[in-house]
Amino acid sequence: MTFDKSLSMLDIPLIFHDSVTALDEVKKELGIVALNSLLDTQKPAFINFAKIQKVSRISNEDWGISENWFVLGDIHGDFYALYNALKHIQQICPEFRLVFLGDLIDRGPHPLECLWLLLAYAKKFPKRILWIGGNHDVSIQKSLDGSFFSTVSPAEFLDELNGAETYNREGRQLGDEFIELAKDLPRAALSPDGVLFTHGGFPLTDRHPELLNKKTIEEQMDWLNSADSLQDFTWTRITSRPKRIPNRVSIGCSYGYLDFAAFCEITKDFFPISGMVNGHEHPTNGFDPHPEWKTYPALTFKGFGFANNYDDPDSFNTKYQANLIVGRCRSNGMPEVIEIPVDRKDLTNFYDVNITKFFEEANQRALKKKKPPMAETSQNLDLCNDQISPLGSFQLSPATSINSHKETGQNESTQNIKP
Protein backbone atom coordinates (compact mmCIF):
# COMPACT_ATOMS: atom_id res chain seq x y z
CA MET A 1 0.00 0.00 0.00
CA THR A 2 1.56 3.25 -1.09
CA PHE A 3 0.89 6.94 -0.99
CA ASP A 4 0.53 8.91 -4.22
CA LYS A 5 2.87 11.40 -2.55
CA SER A 6 5.55 11.22 0.08
CA LEU A 7 4.89 12.18 3.67
CA SER A 8 7.10 15.24 3.40
CA MET A 9 4.64 17.20 5.53
CA LEU A 10 5.69 15.21 8.55
CA ASP A 11 9.05 16.97 8.44
CA ILE A 12 7.50 20.41 9.04
CA PRO A 13 5.72 21.82 12.13
CA LEU A 14 2.15 21.36 10.76
CA ILE A 15 1.59 25.05 11.53
CA PHE A 16 1.12 27.46 8.63
CA HIS A 17 0.65 31.15 7.97
CA ASP A 18 -3.13 30.84 7.63
CA SER A 19 -5.87 28.24 7.34
CA VAL A 20 -6.07 28.42 3.54
CA THR A 21 -2.39 27.52 3.26
CA ALA A 22 -2.85 24.68 5.73
CA LEU A 23 -5.65 23.11 3.69
CA ASP A 24 -3.72 23.62 0.45
CA GLU A 25 -0.70 21.81 1.87
CA VAL A 26 -2.82 18.92 3.11
CA LYS A 27 -4.54 18.62 -0.28
CA LYS A 28 -1.15 18.47 -1.97
CA GLU A 29 -0.13 15.57 0.23
CA LEU A 30 -3.45 13.81 0.27
CA GLY A 31 -4.32 12.27 -3.08
CA ILE A 32 -6.08 8.97 -2.53
CA VAL A 33 -4.47 7.91 0.70
CA ALA A 34 -3.68 4.43 1.95
CA LEU A 35 -4.14 4.85 5.69
CA ASN A 36 -1.54 2.18 6.38
CA SER A 37 1.05 4.59 4.99
CA LEU A 38 0.43 6.86 7.95
CA LEU A 39 -0.10 4.14 10.52
CA ASP A 40 2.75 1.99 9.10
CA THR A 41 3.68 -1.42 10.40
CA GLN A 42 4.20 -0.20 13.96
CA LYS A 43 0.50 0.33 14.52
CA PRO A 44 -0.30 2.63 15.96
CA ALA A 45 0.73 6.11 16.92
CA PHE A 46 -2.56 6.41 18.87
CA ILE A 47 -2.78 5.56 22.55
CA ASN A 48 -4.79 2.39 23.25
CA PHE A 49 -5.31 1.75 19.54
CA ALA A 50 -6.03 -1.87 18.54
CA LYS A 51 -5.84 -3.18 22.09
CA ILE A 52 -8.00 -6.20 22.77
CA GLN A 53 -9.88 -4.21 25.39
CA LYS A 54 -11.43 -1.08 23.89
CA VAL A 55 -12.40 0.25 27.33
CA SER A 56 -9.46 0.54 29.69
CA ARG A 57 -7.70 2.53 32.37
CA ILE A 58 -4.90 4.72 31.06
CA SER A 59 -1.66 3.96 32.87
CA ASN A 60 0.24 6.66 34.77
CA GLU A 61 3.07 6.15 32.29
CA ASP A 62 0.86 6.83 29.26
CA TRP A 63 -0.94 9.67 31.03
CA GLY A 64 1.93 11.66 32.52
CA ILE A 65 1.08 15.23 33.56
CA SER A 66 -2.65 15.97 33.57
CA GLU A 67 -2.23 19.62 32.53
CA ASN A 68 -0.57 18.48 29.29
CA TRP A 69 -3.81 16.81 28.21
CA PHE A 70 -6.39 18.60 26.07
CA VAL A 71 -9.88 17.49 25.00
CA LEU A 72 -11.51 18.01 21.61
CA GLY A 73 -15.13 17.18 20.78
CA ASP A 74 -16.85 16.13 17.54
CA ILE A 75 -15.16 17.60 14.43
CA HIS A 76 -17.47 16.33 11.68
CA GLY A 77 -15.32 17.30 8.72
CA ASP A 78 -14.57 20.85 9.91
CA PHE A 79 -10.95 21.24 8.82
CA TYR A 80 -10.88 24.89 9.90
CA ALA A 81 -11.76 23.93 13.47
CA LEU A 82 -9.46 20.91 13.66
CA TYR A 83 -6.45 22.74 12.25
CA ASN A 84 -6.86 25.82 14.44
CA ALA A 85 -7.57 23.82 17.60
CA LEU A 86 -4.48 21.64 17.09
CA LYS A 87 -2.39 24.67 16.23
CA HIS A 88 -3.49 26.52 19.38
CA ILE A 89 -2.90 23.49 21.59
CA GLN A 90 0.56 22.91 20.15
CA GLN A 91 1.50 26.56 20.58
CA ILE A 92 0.47 26.89 24.23
CA CYS A 93 1.75 23.47 25.26
CA PRO A 94 4.52 21.93 23.12
CA GLU A 95 4.35 18.76 25.26
CA PHE A 96 0.60 18.45 24.64
CA ARG A 97 -1.45 15.27 24.73
CA LEU A 98 -4.92 15.07 23.19
CA VAL A 99 -8.15 13.17 23.79
CA PHE A 100 -10.28 13.38 20.66
CA LEU A 101 -13.81 12.30 21.57
CA GLY A 102 -14.71 10.96 18.14
CA ASP A 103 -16.90 11.67 15.10
CA LEU A 104 -14.25 12.93 12.70
CA ILE A 105 -16.39 12.44 9.59
CA ASP A 106 -19.79 13.42 8.09
CA ARG A 107 -21.62 16.75 7.88
CA GLY A 108 -18.63 19.02 7.16
CA PRO A 109 -16.93 19.48 3.77
CA HIS A 110 -13.40 18.14 4.50
CA PRO A 111 -13.50 14.66 6.10
CA LEU A 112 -10.49 13.30 4.20
CA GLU A 113 -8.41 16.35 5.00
CA CYS A 114 -9.37 16.08 8.68
CA LEU A 115 -8.46 12.41 8.66
CA TRP A 116 -5.09 13.11 7.09
CA LEU A 117 -4.31 15.90 9.55
CA LEU A 118 -5.22 13.89 12.65
CA LEU A 119 -3.21 10.89 11.42
CA ALA A 120 -0.27 13.14 10.58
CA TYR A 121 -0.31 14.57 14.11
CA ALA A 122 -0.47 11.07 15.56
CA LYS A 123 2.47 10.05 13.40
CA LYS A 124 4.52 13.14 14.26
CA PHE A 125 3.65 12.96 17.97
CA PRO A 126 3.40 9.22 18.69
CA LYS A 127 1.58 7.99 21.78
CA ARG A 128 0.29 11.48 22.49
CA ILE A 129 -3.18 11.28 20.93
CA LEU A 130 -6.11 9.21 22.17
CA TRP A 131 -8.90 8.90 19.58
CA ILE A 132 -12.15 7.62 21.07
CA GLY A 133 -14.33 6.07 18.36
CA GLY A 134 -17.54 7.98 17.69
CA ASN A 135 -20.75 6.49 16.34
CA HIS A 136 -20.18 8.03 12.90
CA ASP A 137 -16.59 6.73 12.83
CA VAL A 138 -17.60 3.13 13.52
CA SER A 139 -20.73 3.03 11.33
CA ILE A 140 -19.12 2.80 7.89
CA GLN A 141 -19.55 -0.67 6.40
CA LYS A 142 -19.05 -2.37 3.05
CA SER A 143 -21.82 -4.01 1.05
CA LEU A 144 -21.57 -7.15 -1.05
CA ASP A 145 -21.26 -5.17 -4.30
CA GLY A 146 -18.19 -3.34 -2.97
CA SER A 147 -19.85 0.00 -2.27
CA PHE A 148 -19.95 1.52 1.21
CA PHE A 149 -22.88 2.34 3.45
CA SER A 150 -23.41 3.65 6.96
CA THR A 151 -25.69 2.62 9.80
CA VAL A 152 -26.16 6.23 10.87
CA SER A 153 -27.58 9.26 9.12
CA PRO A 154 -26.39 11.81 8.06
CA ALA A 155 -23.40 10.13 6.39
CA GLU A 156 -21.79 12.48 3.89
CA PHE A 157 -18.46 10.65 4.11
CA LEU A 158 -20.06 8.13 1.75
CA ASP A 159 -19.78 10.77 -0.98
CA GLU A 160 -16.01 10.47 -0.69
CA LEU A 161 -16.03 6.67 -0.67
CA ASN A 162 -18.73 6.07 -3.30
CA GLY A 163 -18.24 9.18 -5.45
CA ALA A 164 -17.40 8.93 -9.13
CA GLU A 165 -13.96 10.46 -8.54
CA THR A 166 -12.90 7.99 -5.86
CA TYR A 167 -14.95 4.88 -6.64
CA ASN A 168 -12.08 2.87 -8.04
CA ARG A 169 -9.49 0.51 -6.63
CA GLU A 170 -7.79 3.23 -4.57
CA GLY A 171 -11.10 4.57 -3.29
CA ARG A 172 -12.26 1.14 -2.23
CA GLN A 173 -8.92 0.59 -0.53
CA LEU A 174 -9.39 3.85 1.35
CA GLY A 175 -12.83 2.75 2.52
CA ASP A 176 -11.54 -0.66 3.57
CA GLU A 177 -8.71 0.88 5.55
CA PHE A 178 -10.97 3.41 7.26
CA ILE A 179 -13.23 0.56 8.39
CA GLU A 180 -10.19 -1.31 9.72
CA LEU A 181 -8.97 1.83 11.48
CA ALA A 182 -12.34 2.61 13.06
CA LYS A 183 -13.02 -0.89 14.35
CA ASP A 184 -9.80 -0.81 16.40
CA LEU A 185 -10.41 2.58 18.01
CA PRO A 186 -10.94 2.57 21.79
CA ARG A 187 -14.49 3.31 22.92
CA ALA A 188 -13.80 4.79 26.38
CA ALA A 189 -10.84 5.45 28.65
CA LEU A 190 -10.42 6.27 32.32
CA SER A 191 -7.66 8.66 33.33
CA PRO A 192 -5.62 8.24 36.54
CA ASP A 193 -7.58 11.26 37.85
CA GLY A 194 -10.83 9.29 37.52
CA VAL A 195 -12.24 11.12 34.48
CA LEU A 196 -14.11 8.88 32.04
CA PHE A 197 -13.62 9.93 28.40
CA THR A 198 -16.34 8.55 26.14
CA HIS A 199 -18.11 9.58 22.96
CA GLY A 200 -21.64 8.92 24.15
CA GLY A 201 -22.08 7.53 27.63
CA PHE A 202 -21.73 4.27 29.56
CA PRO A 203 -23.56 0.94 30.01
CA LEU A 204 -27.07 1.84 31.14
CA THR A 205 -28.91 0.55 34.20
CA ASP A 206 -30.69 -2.36 32.50
CA ARG A 207 -27.27 -3.92 31.86
CA HIS A 208 -25.99 -3.56 35.44
CA PRO A 209 -27.42 -6.85 36.80
CA GLU A 210 -25.07 -8.70 34.43
CA LEU A 211 -22.11 -7.23 36.32
CA LEU A 212 -23.21 -8.65 39.68
CA ASN A 213 -22.20 -12.13 38.55
CA LYS A 214 -18.68 -11.02 37.61
CA LYS A 215 -16.33 -11.70 40.52
CA THR A 216 -12.82 -11.09 39.18
CA ILE A 217 -11.39 -7.89 37.73
CA GLU A 218 -10.83 -9.73 34.45
CA GLU A 219 -14.50 -10.70 34.27
CA GLN A 220 -15.60 -7.21 35.22
CA MET A 221 -13.40 -5.60 32.54
CA ASP A 222 -14.70 -8.13 30.02
CA TRP A 223 -18.21 -6.93 30.85
CA LEU A 224 -17.18 -3.34 30.16
CA ASN A 225 -15.80 -4.54 26.83
CA SER A 226 -18.79 -6.64 25.82
CA ALA A 227 -20.59 -5.73 22.60
CA ASP A 228 -23.61 -4.39 24.51
CA SER A 229 -21.47 -2.19 26.76
CA LEU A 230 -19.40 -0.85 23.85
CA GLN A 231 -22.63 0.06 22.08
CA ASP A 232 -23.74 2.14 25.08
CA PHE A 233 -20.36 3.86 25.44
CA THR A 234 -20.59 4.97 21.82
CA TRP A 235 -24.26 5.61 21.14
CA THR A 236 -26.16 6.71 24.27
CA ARG A 237 -27.04 10.35 24.92
CA ILE A 238 -26.76 12.56 27.98
CA THR A 239 -29.73 14.52 29.37
CA SER A 240 -30.36 16.96 32.23
CA ARG A 241 -32.93 14.62 33.78
CA PRO A 242 -32.31 12.50 36.88
CA LYS A 243 -33.18 9.16 35.30
CA ARG A 244 -34.19 7.69 31.97
CA ILE A 245 -35.60 4.24 31.31
CA PRO A 246 -33.43 2.66 28.61
CA ASN A 247 -35.39 2.46 25.38
CA ARG A 248 -33.81 -0.42 23.51
CA VAL A 249 -35.89 0.25 20.43
CA SER A 250 -32.99 2.54 19.60
CA ILE A 251 -29.28 2.05 20.22
CA GLY A 252 -29.14 5.79 20.88
CA CYS A 253 -31.24 5.82 24.05
CA SER A 254 -30.58 8.41 26.75
CA TYR A 255 -29.61 8.60 30.43
CA GLY A 256 -29.65 10.96 33.41
CA TYR A 257 -27.29 11.86 36.24
CA LEU A 258 -28.67 9.25 38.65
CA ASP A 259 -28.09 6.59 36.00
CA PHE A 260 -24.46 7.69 35.80
CA ALA A 261 -24.18 7.66 39.59
CA ALA A 262 -25.44 4.08 39.60
CA PHE A 263 -22.81 3.11 37.04
CA CYS A 264 -20.05 4.82 39.05
CA GLU A 265 -21.12 3.02 42.22
CA ILE A 266 -21.29 -0.42 40.64
CA THR A 267 -17.83 -0.06 39.06
CA LYS A 268 -16.00 1.80 41.86
CA ASP A 269 -13.91 -1.19 42.99
CA PHE A 270 -12.34 -1.87 39.59
CA PHE A 271 -13.05 1.21 37.44
CA PRO A 272 -13.19 4.21 39.83
CA ILE A 273 -14.86 7.19 38.13
CA SER A 274 -15.09 10.74 39.50
CA GLY A 275 -16.66 12.44 36.44
CA MET A 276 -17.33 12.12 32.72
CA VAL A 277 -16.28 14.03 29.61
CA ASN A 278 -18.12 13.22 26.39
CA GLY A 279 -18.96 14.40 22.89
CA HIS A 280 -21.89 13.25 20.71
CA GLU A 281 -24.06 16.26 21.60
CA HIS A 282 -23.64 19.61 19.85
CA PRO A 283 -24.06 22.46 22.38
CA THR A 284 -24.65 25.80 20.68
CA ASN A 285 -21.70 27.52 22.40
CA GLY A 286 -19.38 24.52 22.06
CA PHE A 287 -19.66 23.05 25.56
CA ASP A 288 -22.21 22.08 28.20
CA PRO A 289 -21.19 21.87 31.90
CA HIS A 290 -24.45 20.09 32.86
CA PRO A 291 -25.07 21.99 36.12
CA GLU A 292 -27.64 19.41 37.26
CA TRP A 293 -24.88 16.79 37.47
CA LYS A 294 -23.42 17.45 40.92
CA THR A 295 -22.22 14.26 42.67
CA TYR A 296 -20.55 12.91 39.54
CA PRO A 297 -20.07 15.88 37.18
CA ALA A 298 -20.18 15.73 33.39
CA LEU A 299 -18.86 18.02 30.67
CA THR A 300 -19.71 17.84 26.98
CA PHE A 301 -17.48 19.29 24.26
CA LYS A 302 -18.20 20.10 20.61
CA GLY A 303 -15.18 20.62 18.36
CA PHE A 304 -16.65 21.91 15.09
CA GLY A 305 -17.65 25.54 14.67
CA PHE A 306 -20.19 25.62 11.85
CA ALA A 307 -23.89 26.09 12.59
CA ASN A 308 -26.18 23.08 12.77
CA ASN A 309 -27.87 24.02 9.50
CA TYR A 310 -24.75 22.98 7.64
CA ASP A 311 -26.40 22.94 4.20
CA ASP A 312 -26.46 26.73 4.46
CA PRO A 313 -23.15 28.24 3.28
CA ASP A 314 -23.44 31.01 5.88
CA SER A 315 -23.11 28.33 8.58
CA PHE A 316 -19.41 28.27 7.68
CA ASN A 317 -18.97 32.05 7.67
CA THR A 318 -21.29 34.59 9.31
CA LYS A 319 -23.01 31.95 11.47
CA TYR A 320 -19.77 30.24 12.47
CA GLN A 321 -19.05 30.24 16.22
CA ALA A 322 -17.16 33.18 17.70
CA ASN A 323 -14.89 30.80 19.62
CA LEU A 324 -13.64 27.27 19.12
CA ILE A 325 -13.75 25.21 22.31
CA VAL A 326 -11.23 22.77 23.76
CA GLY A 327 -10.75 21.44 27.26
CA ARG A 328 -7.57 21.28 29.34
CA CYS A 329 -7.29 18.61 31.98
CA ARG A 330 -6.45 19.29 35.61
CA SER A 331 -5.17 17.04 38.36
CA ASN A 332 -7.99 15.62 40.47
CA GLY A 333 -10.70 17.61 38.72
CA MET A 334 -12.72 18.15 35.56
CA PRO A 335 -11.11 19.88 32.56
CA GLU A 336 -11.22 23.63 32.27
CA VAL A 337 -12.90 25.13 29.20
CA ILE A 338 -10.63 27.07 26.85
CA GLU A 339 -12.07 29.44 24.27
CA ILE A 340 -10.05 30.00 21.08
CA PRO A 341 -11.24 33.22 19.37
CA VAL A 342 -11.92 32.72 15.68
CA ASP A 343 -9.96 35.08 13.45
CA ARG A 344 -12.87 36.34 11.34
CA LYS A 345 -10.58 37.59 8.58
CA ASP A 346 -8.88 34.21 8.35
CA LEU A 347 -12.25 32.45 8.46
CA THR A 348 -13.72 34.64 5.72
CA ASN A 349 -10.69 34.02 3.54
CA PHE A 350 -11.00 30.28 4.15
CA TYR A 351 -14.70 30.48 3.31
CA ASP A 352 -14.13 32.46 0.11
CA VAL A 353 -11.41 30.11 -1.17
CA ASN A 354 -12.66 26.70 -0.01
CA ILE A 355 -16.25 26.64 1.23
CA THR A 356 -17.86 28.48 -1.68
CA LYS A 357 -16.01 26.15 -4.04
CA PHE A 358 -17.27 23.15 -2.09
CA PHE A 359 -20.91 24.25 -2.38
CA GLU A 360 -20.52 25.08 -6.08
CA GLU A 361 -19.10 21.63 -6.80
CA ALA A 362 -21.77 19.95 -4.67
CA ASN A 363 -24.54 21.77 -6.51
CA GLN A 364 -23.03 20.85 -9.88
CA ARG A 365 -22.98 17.19 -8.86
CA ALA A 366 -26.57 17.49 -7.64
CA LEU A 367 -27.71 18.96 -10.96
CA LYS A 368 -26.03 16.12 -12.85
CA LYS A 369 -27.98 13.68 -10.70
CA LYS A 370 -31.10 15.83 -11.13
CA LYS A 371 -31.23 16.39 -7.39
CA PRO A 372 -32.06 19.74 -5.72
CA PRO A 373 -29.00 21.89 -4.82
CA MET A 374 -27.64 21.56 -1.28
CA ALA A 375 -29.33 24.65 0.09
CA GLU A 376 -32.71 23.19 -0.94
CA THR A 377 -32.28 19.56 0.11
CA SER A 378 -32.24 19.76 3.89
CA GLN A 379 -35.05 18.16 5.80
CA ASN A 380 -35.31 17.70 9.52
CA LEU A 381 -35.60 14.15 10.78
CA ASP A 382 -38.44 14.38 13.27
CA LEU A 383 -36.80 11.98 15.69
CA CYS A 384 -36.12 12.49 19.37
CA ASN A 385 -33.04 11.01 20.96
CA ASP A 386 -34.59 7.85 22.32
CA GLN A 387 -37.51 7.37 19.96
CA ILE A 388 -35.86 6.54 16.69
CA SER A 389 -38.54 5.49 14.25
CA PRO A 390 -37.81 2.82 11.64
CA LEU A 391 -37.03 4.40 8.26
CA GLY A 392 -36.90 1.19 6.24
CA SER A 393 -34.06 -0.55 4.50
CA PHE A 394 -32.11 0.80 1.60
CA GLN A 395 -28.86 0.16 -0.16
CA LEU A 396 -26.35 2.75 -1.30
CA SER A 397 -24.81 2.24 -4.70
CA PRO A 398 -21.72 4.08 -6.00
CA ALA A 399 -22.14 7.86 -6.23
CA THR A 400 -25.25 7.72 -4.00
CA SER A 401 -25.36 9.44 -0.63
CA ILE A 402 -27.79 10.43 2.08
CA ASN A 403 -26.54 14.00 2.07
CA SER A 404 -30.12 15.30 2.12
CA HIS A 405 -30.47 14.42 5.81
CA LYS A 406 -29.34 16.91 8.39
CA GLU A 407 -29.97 17.39 12.04
CA THR A 408 -30.78 20.41 14.12
CA GLY A 409 -28.60 19.91 17.14
CA GLN A 410 -28.86 16.44 18.55
CA ASN A 411 -31.22 14.49 16.30
CA GLU A 412 -29.64 11.86 14.10
CA SER A 413 -31.05 8.60 12.92
CA THR A 414 -29.83 5.08 12.93
CA GLN A 415 -30.86 3.24 9.83
CA ASN A 416 -31.74 -0.36 9.15
CA ILE A 417 -29.61 -0.43 6.03
CA LYS A 418 -29.40 -3.67 4.14
CA PRO A 419 -25.99 -4.44 2.65
Q: 344-354 pLDDT, tens per residue?
A: 999 999 999 99
- From the list 259, 281, 297, 354, the residue with the least C-alpha distance to 23 is 354
pTM: 0.86
Query: How many angstroms separate the CA atoms of 132 and 49, rounded?
Result: 9
Query: Using one digit for the tens of pLDDT, what is the confidence trace for 189-237?
Result: 999 999 999 999 999 999 999 999 999 999 999 999 999 999 999 999 9
Q: Are 116 and 69 in contact (CB under 8 A)?
A: no
Domain 44-414 of CATH type 3.40.50.620: no
Residues contacting residue 175 through CB under 8 Å, at least 6 positions apart: 140, 142, 148, 161
Quote the pLDDT of residue 12.
52
Q: What is the CA radius of gyration of the chain?
A: 20
Which has the minimum average pLDDT: 15-24, 187-196, 309-318, 393-402? 393-402
pLDDT of res. 99: 98
Beta strand 69-72 pairing with 55-57:
unpaired
Q: How confident is the model at residue 169 (pLDDT cuts 50, 70, 90)?
A: low
User: Is residue 376 scored above 60 in pLDDT?
Assistant: no
Can you give the pLDDT at residue 168? 64
Looking at residue 415, what is its pLDDT?
Answer: 45
Other Cβ atoms within 10 Å of 78 Cβ, number: 26
DSSP states along 286-322: SEE--TT--SS-EEEEB---S-S-TTSGGGGTTTS-S
**Is pLDDT at 69 greater than 90 in this prediction?**
yes
| All structural domains of the chain with their residue ranges | 44-414
